[in-house]
Every structure is written in C-alpha cells, then in structure tokens.
Structure 1
Amino acid sequence: MTDLTRIENAFLAVDVSPLGAEMQAIATPDGRSWLWSGDAAFWSGRSPVLFPIVGRAPDDTLLIDGKPYPMGQHGFARRRDFALASATETMCRHELAASEETRALYPFEFLLAVEHRLEGPTLTVSATVSNRGDRPMPFGLGFHPAFVWPLPGAAGRPHTIHLDNGGEPALRRLEGGLLAAGELPSPFAGGTLVLDPAQFEADAMIFPEGAGDGLTYRAEDGPALAFRFENLPNLALWTKPGAPYLCIEPWHGTAAESGGSRELSQRPHGTVLPAGESRRFAFTVTFPG
C-alpha cells in the first residue's frame, strides 16, 4: 500500500491505511514487529474497526424499526475508505461519514472518526461516533487488533492473559456466528488465562461481562503488552488454531443472541445514541521500552 499514514516517535512506528482506518504495522526501533502481518492463508485482517455492529446478525440481516437491512459480519466500516482528516508526526485521524451507499445498509446520519496517537511507548486507538441525524441511532462498536503470538523473541514460551481486576469472567461461545445461550465456566483462574491454541477450536472466547478495563498479554520471562480500555465493557479473544496471532478485542456490543431479537436496538450491550450526541471508545496498549 502506498497511501499509508505513518506516525512515529522514539518508541514506536505505526502505519495506518485509509481502508477501514486499519493499522497495518506496529514496530519498535529495535526492528521487532508486534502486529499480525495479515497473511491471507490464515486471516487477512490486522486491526479492523467494527461498526455499526460487532459480530454477526441472523442471516446477515438487521431489523431497524422493523425494516430489514443487509449487514455482513462486523459491519461495513472495515470495508470503506476513510478520509484523512488530520495528521501530525505522532497522530492521525481518519473519518467516515454517512453516504448514499451506507444509508442503503444503515439509514442513519453518522460520523465515525478513528484516531491513532502515540505518547511515549503507548499507542491510543479511539473511535468517536457522532449522530448527525434527528433520531436515536443504535449501533455496536468494537476493535479487533491482532498481535503476534508468540511475542517477539518468545517462541516456545507460555503466554498468558492477566486481567487487571483479577476476575474470572464467565465464558460465552458462538453458535452459527451468534451468541449461544448459557454461560460456561471461566477459563481464567485468579485473573490469569494460560493461552493454548486448543482453546480456539470452538471459535472465539467471549466475555460479555466481568473482564474489567485492563489486561496484560505476556510471555513468560519475555515481553509484555499492557492494555487499558475506555467504554469497552466486552472482551473477546480469538485466533485460528495454529495461526501465529492473538486478537485481543475490546467491544461495546456483541453478536446477536441465538434465538434473540433481530432488531439492532436490542442487540446485547449495544449503544443507542441520542440525536446530536457523540460517544468515544478507546483502548491503549503500552509496549516494552
């Protein structure tokens, strides 16, 4: 890609594409790469932004005030070109506004602004959703960044996720791409999950509640990435068994529930934004110095 925007400082360099406002690379000055490369043999994504839904809708169709609209998994923003609204050496902001094309899928006047910002060894990724229309606007918003697994220099070492709150949140699974009924026992013990590819043979691990607002992804006796979440109460972890990446996905909203309502406004953990208002969602990740 020749139209990437690069932001960088003494600690990090990040490349962002206008397609989906999606990060394409995160590197430290020592040459280590932290973001998944997007190898299509496993998964071509790298860090998509999910809007106006997270996950799947039944039969890939939403109801909005009772009227059906086609909507693919994770929404349409990740497949749309954003405009570069502003950029400095350490920040870039991309925007996607409602258009005739988006209104056919999602009949609302919105602005989705995605910002990437560096401060020291910390990267902040935020999404601000604005309702420019005259009626309440339902949506879900999520982030889907994929980090390398194993972490750089840590091949063969155990990797863990440790929740800052020490929680043991209940696990939910997907059924036909929808949120299956019923909770399963937590795979966390004392806030720690020892990662194993076999955990993903049944697709993503989803924690709609109780994962808290921060975690650390760590290799034993190796590097660690520290995450903080803002207005993102739901968490998912995902990879394809055998693939060398781990998606750490903070969301506000989940897939529709199996057997549940098809109405967008009734999807679990969604947001209904009043006319004229905006809502911000963000995560930070701090890399080894």
Structure 2
Amino acid sequence: MPDIVRITSDELVVEVSSLGAEMQSLQTTDGRDWLWNGDAAFWTGRSPILFPIVGKAPDNHIAVDGASYEMGQHGFARRAEWVLADASTTACRFELESTDATRKIYPFDFLLSLTHSLDGGKLVVTAEVENPDSCPMPFGLGFHPAFLWPLPGAEGKPHTIALDNGAEPLLTRLEDGLVTRDKLPSPFSKGELTLAHELFEADAMIFAEGAGEGLTYAAEGGPSLKFAFDNLPTLALWQKLGAPFLCVEPWHGTAAEAGGSAEMAKRPYTKILPAGEKARFAFSVEVIG
C-alpha cells in the first residue's frame, strides 16, 4: 500500500501519496474539501503529475533519434512509486529516479522531485527535473489537479475562470487524443469564461499560449481558488463530461500533433534540458472564502 503523508498549516490540510507523489486531499481546517475525491465512477485521478510526456503519443509510442518506445498517455510518473526524500509539518518532497525499467521506455537518466508546501491558505506544488545524463533530455511536464465543481457551498451558482491577463487565448482541441493544428476562436471574453458542462463535449479545452501566469476559479458570490503558474506556458481545462470536478492544468508541453511526428523533440512545447542542468516548474493555489 502507498504511504500517505499529511502536511498542515493554520488554514489547510493536505495529504500526498507515495504513489505518483499525487495529492489525495486538500481541505480547509473547517473540514471543507476542495480537491476531487477520485471516485472511479468518473475518474480515479486526483492530481497526477505528467512526465515525461503530457497527453498522448501517436499509437502510444514516442521516438528518440528514430528509435521507438512504447509510452502511455501522460507518461509513467503518475503510476510509479516515489521515495519520500524530506518532510516537515508544512512540506513534503518525493523523488523519482530513472531505473533500468524506465530506461527501456524512456532512454534517459533523470531525477524528478515534487514538493508540496503550505503557507497559510496557499499550497505551492513544485517540480524539479534534473538531467544527470551526458546528452540533452527532451521531456514534457504537466500538473493535472482536479477541483470540485461546484465549489464547497456554491451549488447552483455560476462558476467562472478569470485570467489575470484579461486575454482571449485561442482554443486548441484534441483529435483522437492528439492536438490539432487548427486554432479556434477563444471562449474567453475579456479574460472571463463562464463554465458549462457542454464546453467539454469535445474533450479538454487547451490554450497552448496566451493564458498567462495566473487565474481565478470562482463561484458567483461564493468561494474561489486563486492560481499562479511558473514556467508553465500552456493551460488546459478538462472535465470528465458530467462529473462534479474541473481540472485546471498548467503544462510545459502538450500531446503530440495529429498527423505530426512521434519524435520527443518535435512535440509541441517540449523542454530540451542540457546535460547536467535542472529545470523548475510550479503552481500555487490559494483558497479564498
């Protein structure tokens, strides 16, 4: 059985599993839940980390310098057992290292760490990727947290996404799990989108660029979640159709392009990490109300 680590602040309580280093719950100290509970009737995920790819690969295979490797959707980190490297009352860090098994499907050495830390009513989730190998390493990294929709105490109220930058980013859709090259009109108006279940009839809404570095997910006259993103240029919003959750997903990378290459280095927004270097990615969410 996976180990569960609990961290607390004066306002929040968070539980994180060693399986996938995945957050299992996010509660305010008054007992309200904010994170999706993983009900298998809809979706067993809660807050998986996506590595070394975001989304799907053509025929579930990636290519590295022409060699083909089988790779499932969103990569393998979310289903791996991580090692607890450090923990305190308010923070915990899990690590995942390359193994003989991972090198058979992703031919690189790596060290991936994921830290959850609390400061009052704010949770910060930070991923660091290190390349100890002797060659550049291509990868994608994404966060996939699912929050309740409706938010606690906001049943029957309209819910919105408001971008900090007030932009109207163009929409990208998926075709058999791969991103299309077509750019569709933005569903945002002056940075604001009123959520409706029918928006997800065609799967996730992906905003490859232009959504900015922060947003607020809010119920009208009710509570809200304030997000900030660091080194995560792509935003996706997703709901399993009809399910009572909304995924707010900041990514560095996307699924491969429909009709495009399986090469890792040619996937949209792939990060190429030089030998011996590290890269950092983070999001924060603050509970308000």
Q: Which bin holds the TM-score, normalised by the shorter protein?
A: over 0.9
Q: Which runs of 5+ in 2 are unaligned?
A: none
| Aligned residue pair count | 289
1:148 aligns with 2:148: yes
Can you list the C-alpha shifts for 1:177-235, whole angstroms capped at 9, x where unaligned? 00012100000000000000000000000000100000000000000100000000000
Structure 2 partner of 1:62: 62
Residue of structure 2 equivalent to 1:192: 192
RMSD in angstroms over aligned alpha carbons? Answer: 0.8
The one-letter amino acid paired with 2:136 is P
Secondary structure, in 3 states, of the residue corresponding to 2:288?
Answer: coil
Are 1:214 and 2:214 an aligned pair? Answer: yes
Contact 2:2 2:17 (8 Å CA) reproduced: no
C-alpha distance in 2 between matches for 1:132 and 1:70: 23
- Output the amino acid matched with 1:222: G
Name 1:28's counterpart in structure 2: 28
Q: Which residue of structure 2 aligns with residue 93 of structure 1?
A: 93
- Does the aligned pair in 1 maintain the 2:145–2:248 contact within 8 Å? yes
Q: Which amino acid aligns with 2:62?
A: L
Equivalent position of 2:257 in the other structure: 257
The answer to whether the 8 Å contact 2:2/2:81 transfers is no
Aligned position for 1:102: 102
Task: Describe the SS at the equivalent of 1:68.
Answer: strand
After superposition, the C-alpha distances for 1:137-185 in whole angstroms (9 at most, x for unaligned) are 0000000000000000000000000000000000000000000121000
Counterparts of 1:107 and 1:186 in 2: how far apart (Å)?
A: 38
Cα deviation for residue 120 of structure 1 reads 1.1
Separation of aligned partners in 1, 2:96 and 2:48: 14
Residue 243 of structure 1 corresponds to 243
Instruction: State the partner residue of 1:42.
Output: 42
Deviation at 1:4, TM superposition (A): 0.3
Q: Secondary structure of the residue that 1:206 maps to in structure 2?
A: strand
2:52 corresponds in structure 1 to: 52
Alignment-mate amino acid for residue 280 of structure 1: R
CA distance, structure 2, for counterparts of residue 82 and residue 65 of structure 1: 29
1:240 Cα offset (Å) = 1.5
Indicate the SS of the match to 1:129. strand
Whether the 8 Å CA contact 2:148–2:245 is kept in 1: the answer is: yes
Residue in 1 that maps onto 2:113: 113
Distance, in Å, in 1 between the alignment partners of 2:29 and 2:50 is 30
Question: 1:208 corresponds to which letter in structure 2?
Answer: A
Give CA-to-partner distance per residue, 1:85-135, whole Å, 9 cap, x none: 000000000000000110011010100000000011110001000001000
Distance 1:10 1:66 in 2: 52
The alpha carbon displacement at 1:2 in A equals: 6.6
Measure the CA separation in 1 of the matches of 2:59 and 2:241.
26
For 1:287, what is the secondary structure of its paired residue?
strand
User: What CA distance in whole angstroms lies between the structure 1 residues aligned with 2:131 and 2:266?
Assistant: 18
Question: Residue 199 of structure 2 aligns to a residue in which SS?
Answer: helix
Query: Following superposition of structure 1 onto structure 2, how do residues 152-163 of structure 1 map, counting pairs within 5 Å?
Result: 152-163=152-163
Alignment correspondent of 2:84 = 84
Deviations 1:224-274 (A, max 9, x none): 100000000000000012100000000000000001111001100010000
1:56 Cα deviation after fit = 0.2
TM-score by length of 2: 0.99
Does the 8 A contact of 2:214 with 2:229 survive in 1? yes
- Structure 1 runs of 4+ off > 4 angstroms? none
Secondary structure, aligned partner of 1:279:
strand
Question: Partners in 2 of 1:288 and 1:194 — Cα distance?
Answer: 19
Residue 180 of structure 1: aligned partner: 180
Letter paired with 2:230: E
For 2:9 and 2:210, locate their aligned partners in 1 and report how far apart those are by CA, in whole Å.
35
TM-score normalised to structure 1 length? 0.99
Deviation at 1:9, TM superposition (A): 1.1
Structure 1 segments unaligned to the other structure (5+ residues): none
- Distance in 2 of aligned mates of 1:20 and 1:193: 31
Shift of the alpha carbon at 1:288? 2.0
Letter in 1 for 2:54: V
Which residue does 1:283 correspond to in 2?
283
The AA in structure 1 aligned to 2:255 is A
Aligned sequence identity (%): 63
Measure how far apart 1:30 and its partner are: 1.0
